Amino acid sequence: MKKILYTVLAAVMILTLTACGRTMKSTDDLIKKARKEIPISDADTIDIEYAGKCQNGSYSLLWFISGSEYQAHYYLPMECLEVNGSYEFQQTFKPLNREKDIAVLLWQRSYAFLINNTECRTLRITDENGLHNIEIDRYPFLWYNEEIPSEYLFLDENGNEIN
Protein backbone atom coordinates (compact mmCIF):
# COMPACT_ATOMS: atom_id res chain seq x y z
CA MET A 1 0.00 0.00 0.00
CA LYS A 2 2.84 2.43 0.84
CA LYS A 3 4.49 1.63 -2.48
CA ILE A 4 1.33 2.61 -4.38
CA LEU A 5 0.98 5.80 -2.32
CA TYR A 6 4.61 6.80 -3.04
CA THR A 7 4.18 6.01 -6.74
CA VAL A 8 1.03 8.14 -6.98
CA LEU A 9 2.69 10.96 -5.02
CA ALA A 10 5.75 10.86 -7.29
CA ALA A 11 3.55 10.92 -10.41
CA VAL A 12 1.63 13.96 -9.12
CA MET A 13 4.89 15.79 -8.35
CA ILE A 14 6.28 15.05 -11.82
CA LEU A 15 3.09 16.26 -13.51
CA THR A 16 3.10 19.42 -11.40
CA LEU A 17 6.74 20.20 -12.23
CA THR A 18 6.17 19.48 -15.92
CA ALA A 19 3.17 21.83 -16.07
CA CYS A 20 5.11 24.59 -14.30
CA GLY A 21 7.87 24.38 -16.90
CA ARG A 22 5.52 25.09 -19.79
CA THR A 23 3.38 27.90 -18.41
CA MET A 24 4.88 31.34 -17.81
CA LYS A 25 3.13 34.26 -16.16
CA SER A 26 5.67 36.94 -15.35
CA THR A 27 8.14 38.86 -17.48
CA ASP A 28 10.94 37.22 -15.44
CA ASP A 29 9.62 33.76 -16.41
CA LEU A 30 9.52 34.81 -20.07
CA ILE A 31 13.09 36.15 -19.94
CA LYS A 32 14.30 32.89 -18.32
CA LYS A 33 12.74 30.95 -21.19
CA ALA A 34 14.24 33.34 -23.74
CA ARG A 35 17.70 32.74 -22.19
CA LYS A 36 17.24 29.01 -22.79
CA GLU A 37 16.12 29.54 -26.38
CA ILE A 38 18.41 32.32 -27.63
CA PRO A 39 21.21 30.88 -29.80
CA ILE A 40 24.14 32.90 -28.45
CA SER A 41 27.12 31.68 -26.46
CA ASP A 42 26.79 33.99 -23.44
CA ALA A 43 23.01 33.65 -23.02
CA ASP A 44 23.37 33.08 -19.26
CA THR A 45 25.02 36.44 -18.61
CA ILE A 46 24.06 38.82 -21.42
CA ASP A 47 21.40 41.48 -20.88
CA ILE A 48 18.01 40.40 -22.26
CA GLU A 49 15.08 42.80 -22.44
CA TYR A 50 11.42 42.02 -23.13
CA ALA A 51 10.47 44.34 -26.01
CA GLY A 52 6.73 43.59 -26.23
CA LYS A 53 4.36 41.42 -28.19
CA CYS A 54 2.37 41.09 -31.37
CA GLN A 55 -1.00 39.34 -31.10
CA ASN A 56 -3.04 37.19 -33.48
CA GLY A 57 -6.00 35.57 -31.78
CA SER A 58 -4.73 33.51 -28.86
CA TYR A 59 -1.18 33.42 -30.25
CA SER A 60 1.38 35.95 -29.08
CA LEU A 61 4.73 36.71 -30.65
CA LEU A 62 6.91 37.89 -27.77
CA TRP A 63 10.03 39.81 -28.78
CA PHE A 64 13.27 39.85 -26.80
CA ILE A 65 16.43 41.89 -27.37
CA SER A 66 19.83 40.78 -26.15
CA GLY A 67 22.87 42.97 -25.73
CA SER A 68 23.40 46.53 -24.60
CA GLU A 69 24.45 49.85 -26.08
CA TYR A 70 28.02 48.49 -26.26
CA GLN A 71 27.14 45.11 -27.82
CA ALA A 72 25.48 43.92 -30.99
CA HIS A 73 21.82 43.07 -30.54
CA TYR A 74 20.14 39.76 -31.25
CA TYR A 75 16.37 39.76 -31.74
CA LEU A 76 14.46 36.69 -30.57
CA PRO A 77 10.79 36.29 -31.45
CA MET A 78 9.15 33.58 -29.31
CA GLU A 79 5.66 32.31 -30.12
CA CYS A 80 3.40 31.44 -27.19
CA LEU A 81 -0.20 30.41 -26.81
CA GLU A 82 -1.87 32.82 -24.39
CA VAL A 83 -4.32 31.16 -22.02
CA ASN A 84 -5.90 32.97 -19.07
CA GLY A 85 -3.06 35.47 -18.73
CA SER A 86 -0.36 32.79 -18.92
CA TYR A 87 1.90 31.89 -21.81
CA GLU A 88 2.56 28.39 -23.11
CA PHE A 89 5.76 28.22 -25.15
CA GLN A 90 5.34 27.01 -28.74
CA GLN A 91 8.52 27.85 -30.69
CA THR A 92 11.14 30.44 -31.49
CA PHE A 93 12.01 31.94 -34.86
CA LYS A 94 15.04 33.51 -36.48
CA PRO A 95 13.98 36.86 -37.94
CA LEU A 96 15.45 38.56 -40.96
CA ASN A 97 17.62 41.50 -39.97
CA ARG A 98 16.75 43.88 -42.78
CA GLU A 99 18.69 46.93 -41.69
CA LYS A 100 20.71 47.77 -38.59
CA ASP A 101 18.47 47.09 -35.58
CA ILE A 102 15.38 46.28 -37.63
CA ALA A 103 14.01 42.72 -37.55
CA VAL A 104 11.27 41.32 -39.80
CA LEU A 105 9.49 38.00 -39.42
CA LEU A 106 6.89 36.26 -41.59
CA TRP A 107 4.44 35.16 -38.87
CA GLN A 108 0.82 34.01 -38.98
CA ARG A 109 0.59 34.70 -42.74
CA SER A 110 1.77 38.32 -42.44
CA TYR A 111 4.82 40.26 -41.29
CA ALA A 112 5.82 41.26 -37.77
CA PHE A 113 8.32 44.09 -37.39
CA LEU A 114 10.60 45.10 -34.53
CA ILE A 115 12.26 48.47 -35.12
CA ASN A 116 15.00 49.46 -32.69
CA ASN A 117 16.84 51.84 -35.04
CA THR A 118 16.31 55.43 -33.83
CA GLU A 119 17.00 56.76 -37.33
CA CYS A 120 13.82 55.01 -38.54
CA ARG A 121 10.85 57.32 -38.06
CA THR A 122 8.28 55.79 -40.43
CA LEU A 123 7.30 52.29 -41.49
CA ARG A 124 5.70 52.59 -44.93
CA ILE A 125 3.41 49.68 -45.78
CA THR A 126 1.71 49.04 -49.10
CA ASP A 127 -1.08 46.45 -49.01
CA GLU A 128 -4.34 45.77 -50.83
CA ASN A 129 -5.92 48.76 -49.03
CA GLY A 130 -3.29 51.22 -50.25
CA LEU A 131 -0.31 53.06 -48.78
CA HIS A 132 0.05 53.49 -45.00
CA ASN A 133 2.67 55.52 -43.14
CA ILE A 134 3.04 54.22 -39.60
CA GLU A 135 4.81 56.81 -37.46
CA ILE A 136 7.32 55.40 -35.01
CA ASP A 137 7.04 57.10 -31.63
CA ARG A 138 9.05 54.79 -29.33
CA TYR A 139 11.88 52.27 -29.46
CA PRO A 140 11.69 49.38 -29.63
CA PHE A 141 8.63 49.67 -31.85
CA LEU A 142 6.54 46.61 -32.73
CA TRP A 143 4.03 46.36 -35.54
CA TYR A 144 1.88 43.53 -36.84
CA ASN A 145 -1.24 43.52 -38.96
CA GLU A 146 -3.08 40.55 -40.42
CA GLU A 147 -2.98 42.17 -43.88
CA ILE A 148 0.11 40.97 -45.71
CA PRO A 149 1.98 43.90 -47.25
CA SER A 150 3.14 43.80 -50.85
CA GLU A 151 5.93 46.23 -49.93
CA TYR A 152 7.42 47.75 -46.80
CA LEU A 153 10.04 50.47 -46.39
CA PHE A 154 11.86 52.00 -43.44
CA LEU A 155 12.18 55.78 -43.70
CA ASP A 156 14.27 58.34 -41.82
CA GLU A 157 12.99 61.73 -40.60
CA ASN A 158 13.39 63.22 -44.12
CA GLY A 159 11.41 60.41 -45.79
CA ASN A 160 14.51 58.76 -47.23
CA GLU A 161 14.80 55.00 -47.25
CA ILE A 162 17.20 53.64 -44.63
CA ASN A 163 19.92 51.52 -46.25
Rounded to the nearest 5 percent, the helix, strand and coil shares of the chain are: 20, 45, 35
Q: What is the pLDDT of residue 12?
A: 39
Q: What is the pLDDT of residue 67?
A: 84
Q: What is the pLDDT of residue 160?
A: 96
Q: What is the pLDDT of residue 43?
A: 84
Q: How many whole angstroms separate alpha carbon 66 and alpha carbon 101?
A: 11
Q: What is the pLDDT of residue 100?
A: 87
Q: How many whole angstroms separate alpha carbon 55 and alpha carbon 130?
A: 23
User: Considering the entire predicted model, what is its pTM?
Assistant: 0.81
Per-residue pLDDT of the chain (163 residues; tens, 9 = 90+): 555 544 434 443 444 434 444 789 999 999 999 999 998 888 888 899 999 999 999 999 999 999 877 888 899 999 999 999 999 999 999 998 777 899 999 999 999 999 999 999 999 999 999 999 999 999 999 999 998 999 999 999 999 999 7
Both 88 and 128 in a single domain?
no
The CATH number of the domain holding residue 41 is 3.10.450
* DSSP three-state, residue 14: helix
Q: What is the pLDDT of residue 2?
A: 55
Number of domains in the chain: 2
Q: Using alpha carbons, select from 153, 149, 100 the residue that is nearest to residue 123.
A: 153
Kindly state the DSSP code that residue 43 receives in the 8-state scheme: T
Both 84 and 102 in a single domain?
no
Q: Using alpha carbons, select from 73, 157, 138 the residue that is nearest to residue 64.
A: 73
Last residue of a domain, one of 94, 114, 148: 94
Q: What is the pLDDT of residue 113?
A: 97
Q: What is the pLDDT of residue 10?
A: 44
Both 9 and 74 in a single domain?
yes
Both 104 and 33 in a single domain?
no
Both 160 and 84 in a single domain?
no
